[in-house]
Chains A and B, each alone.
Chain A
Amino acid sequence: MRTARRSLRLAAIEIAALVLLLAAPRFLERGTLNDIWNVAFAVILASAWNLLGGFAGQVSIGYSAFIGIGAYTTALLAAAFSFVVGLPTFRLRGPYFTIATIGVSEAVRLLAAGVSFTGGSSGLRMPAGSFDFTRNYAAMVVLAVGVVALAAWVKASPFGQALAAIRQDIDAAEALGVHSSKYKLLVHALSAAIVAVAGSLFAINFQYISPGSVFDFRLSLSIVLMPIVGGLGTIAGPVLGALLFGYLQIKLLSSPGLRDSYLFIYGTMLIAVMLFEPKGLLGLFHRFLKAARRSFSKPVPDAG
């Protein structure tokens, strides 16, 4: 069966990636590991967001809220909070849902800056002591590989089929028995919990968090842009997008003149994707593959 062979191939790639990434601290220096850490963080955010935005078609621009909540507390609270967000906002459809998510995440940011147990807008310093970068790194790469595997599993399951049905025609999905609001809430909670775990690893690594860093609206935007640029609703797309964004971020941050231009660059890429290849980098790759195959398999017809 084609799907069985496919999932076997994916499993092989995943295991190889996991082994390499976990062995990396033995060979690579701290700076490179930091870069991998950043990319893994991006892969988690992109793949987790893709569960809701790519599979179920519910575009949320409020995901920094979950990173932030995860950074300040735990994944469980973020999953609970995803219901608080989801219950009222999933009544809204399409762009209206998207706009509402911006409002909710901004509200959470303001709340975190306003109350005292979060340290207000000046933020919180993590308790000093038992921090170990290698362990944090291992957790981050395991989570990154795990999220990609989870996404592949969801996509192939009836749950994934329900999400695809909801994305393509929510009324037709309901007419066939799909309890759309239940599945939207479930995938939102799953996705939010993953993002929150990444957020807490982020907080531990930096030893310091503030509402301005973890609830940043620009972070929310990046999370959306990575899967879109890579290939919305696919497994490899968000990973590709995260690799590209992670790489760019590292390059841009190291050149002072370009440091603040990243949103401009992301925006340009987004417009290019929307205009020329809605399926993103992955779509571009498939198109290239098709063209290459055609030119190989069909020799130029003989003259005459």
Chain B
Amino acid sequence: MPADAILSVRGVAKRYEGLLALAGIDFDVARGEVFGVIGPNGAGKTTLFSCLVGAVAPTSGTIAFRGERIEGLPNYAVVARGLVRTHQIVRPFREMTVEENVSVGAHFGAGRRRKEDAGRRVAEILEKTSLSRKAGGLAGTLTIGELKRLEIARALATEPEVLCLDEVMGGLNPSEIQEAMRLVRSIRDSGVTVLMIEHHVHAVMGVSDRILVLNFGRKIAEGPPSAVIKDAGVIDAYLGVE
């Protein structure tokens, strides 16, 4: 494992009764980078994130986070160590206010903040994710763009070292995508390492330092965006070949 790798994934595979969702993936993520994950539908991207945070246990392989093996740990324990993910299909606590949603992360994440301290932190994050004006409203009343930002805000409130964003730009309009890209950069600039699954190829190319390309549960390319986009295998996967 390279000295500067915060996350090291080796041979991670996940089998669901007869379906091999991940066929043994290897990659490293360096501290402080934005690491994009792309691939066609069903390539295993979300399954990979689920394995990383412990929402599902990988069938085989190892995951090292800051040098510690975390594969097989329960989700909450991984979050406590500083690795968190957002959900592609948003999962707000609909009967709570936006502020309460975010404070769950502040109380129970890696930060484990006490009451007043958590309140201050939550206010900062709401400001950063442009949700301050909605703070007192119920999460169930938000628009899709706001719900995507709430997913990010809640995950940030856990005070992660690595933040995994699962299609936070899906369903957004062009100006919202610009705003989301700015947000991802500012998160990176605050010292958080970012992994992001994104269908919006232009956006992910624009913010990522390196990109991993998956297809049918296998890694087909990895490298800087400029190199990945020229890769023959990647072009085949996206455009299809006979």
Contact = CB atoms under 8 A, between A and B. Distances in A.
B84 interface: yes
A176 B95 contact: no
A253 B53 CA distance: 57
Secondary structure class of chain B's binding surface, majority of residues: helix
Secondary structure class of chain A's binding surface, majority of residues: helix
B73 to A, nearest CB: 12
Contacts of B85: 175
Interface string B22-64: 0000000000000000000000000000000101000000000
Contacts of A172: 87, 91-93
Interface in B104-120: 104-105, 107-110, 115, 118
B96 A168 contact: yes
Given A169-B91, A176-B155, A161 B107 contact: yes
Given A168-B93, A169-B91, A161 B75 contact: no
Contacts of A162: 104, 107-108
Contact of A158 (B75, B77, B110, B115): B115
A161 B109 CA distance: 13
Nearest to A183: B108
Contacts of B115: 158
A175 B87 contact: yes
A89 B202 CA distance: 48
Contact of A171 (B84, B91, B104, B157): B91
Given A164-B95, A172-B91, A178 B55 contact: no
A173 B154 CA distance: 10
Contacts of A169: 91, 93
Nearest to A179: B76
A161 B93 CA distance: 10
B93 A177 contact: no
Interface string B146-185: 0000000011011000000000000000000000000000
B79 A168 contact: no
> Range of interface residues on chain A?
10 to 19
Contacts, number: 75
A284 B141 CA distance: 22
A50 to B, nearest CB: 16
A158 B84 contact: no
A38 interface: no
A176 B96 CA distance: 15
Contacts of B87: 172, 175
Interface string B69-99: 0000011110110001101000111111000
B136 to A, nearest CB: 10
16 contacts: A162-B104, A162-B107, A164-B96, A165-B104, A168-B93, A169-B91, A173-B93, A174-B76, A175-B79, A176-B104, A176-B105, A176-B109, A176-B155, A176-B157, A177-B110, A179-B74
Interface of A: 158, 161-162, 164-165, 168-169, 171-180
Given A165-B104, A176-B84, A177-B80, 20 more contacts: A158-B118, A161-B96, A161-B103, A161-B104, A164-B95, A164-B100, A171-B55, A172-B87, A172-B93, A173-B104, A174-B74, A174-B75, A175-B55, A175-B75, A176-B105, A176-B109, A177-B84, A177-B108, A178-B104, A179-B76
- The 6 A-B residue pairs whose C-beta atoms are closest, nearest first, are A177-B79, A177-B108, A172-B91, A158-B107, A177-B109, A174-B75
